[in-house]
Amino acid sequence: MAFELPALPFAEDALEPYYSARTLSFHHGKHHKAYVDNLNKLITGTDLESKPLEEIILLAAGDAAKAGMFNNAAQVWNHTFFWHCMKPGGGGKPSGELAARIDAAFGGYDKFVEQFKAAAVGRFGSGWGWLVLEGGELKIVSTPNAETPLAKGQKALLTVDVWEHAYYLDYQNRRPDFVQAFLDHLVNWDFVAENLK
């Protein structure tokens, strides 16, 4: 059974003005869709055809002969996860148990913001900034290209896409402004808290 492009969890214009409908129409409708289509082409007629996405990612990870499959499968997963990390009216400080965990791990929300921005902005080239859970601890990491925490024994809690396609129509070269807007106005902390459970 082929994979399908999941619908966005909000309307295409719901994240305006911080993330434009035009950006989402390309990012979801073209980039995310291309990863889904490419993955389907690569697995059709193979024994991976009926496997769950996570299993394909783990199977292809680190196997140079399966780089194309890994890239597309991981990008399908990363983008679906990224959409859920945003919501209209999101961002700002988290609350409750999650806030306490962030304070304990990073020494406060401001320190978390500083480190998350540094990781996302400092990723040279294309990639992702992440908040992950590893060995029971919260960590901030960045990954190049399609690489994903799942394949590194980490549980993803929050991500921001820092491929240029994620922000170029709205922010051009100003990646720091995009990451700041993401943190201030877009993060869906309810989703992050769910991932922590």
Partner 1 sequence: MSFELPHLPYSFDALEPWIDAKTVEIHYTKHHMTYLTNLNNALSNLPALAGRSIEEILSHLEIVPEAARTAVRNNGGGYYNHIVYWNVMGANQGSEPLGKLAKAIETSFGGFAVLKEQIEKAGLGRFGSGWAWLSKKTDGSLLVHSTPNQDTPLAEGLKPVIGVDVWEHAYYLKYQNRRADYLTNWWNLVNWEEAERRYLEA
Which residues form the interface with partner 1 (CB under 8 A)?
Answer: 26, 30-31, 34, 67, 71, 124-127, 144-146, 163-165, 168-169, 172-173
Phi, psi of 74, deg, nearest 5? -65, -40
Site for Fe ion in 163-192 (CB under 5 A): 163, 166
C-alpha to C-alpha distance for 25 and 188, rounded to whole angstroms: 20
Output DSSP code: residue 92.
Answer: S
For residues 146 and 150, which CB has a smaller minimum distance to partner 1 in the complex?
A: 146
For residues 26 and 109, which CB has a smaller minimum distance to Fe ion in the complex?
A: 26
Q: Which of 138, 101, 140 is nearest to 118 (CA)?
A: 140
Q: Which of 90, 84, 91 is nearest to 28 (CA)?
A: 84
Q: Cβ of residue 35: shortest distance to Fe ion, in angstroms?
A: 9
For residues 12 and 103, which CB has a smaller minimum distance to partner 1 in the complex?
A: 12
Site for Fe ion in 27-56 (CB under 5 A): none
- The entry of partner 1, Fe ion, none near residue 126 (CB within 5 to 8 angstroms by kind) is partner 1
For residues 8 and 166, which CB has a smaller minimum distance to Fe ion in the complex?
A: 166
Residue 158 pairs in a beta bridge with 131
CA distances from 42 to 28, 30, 53 (A): 20, 18, 13
CB atoms within 10 A of CB 51: 15
- The entry of partner 1, Fe ion, none near residue 161 (CB within 5 to 8 angstroms by kind) is Fe ion
Whether the CB-CB separation of 82 and 55 falls below 8 Å is answered with no
For residues 25 and 101, which CB has a smaller minimum distance to Fe ion in the complex?
A: 25
- The entry of partner 1, Fe ion, none near residue 96 (CB within 5 to 8 angstroms by kind) is none
List interacting residues with Fe ion (CB under 5 A): 161, 163, 166
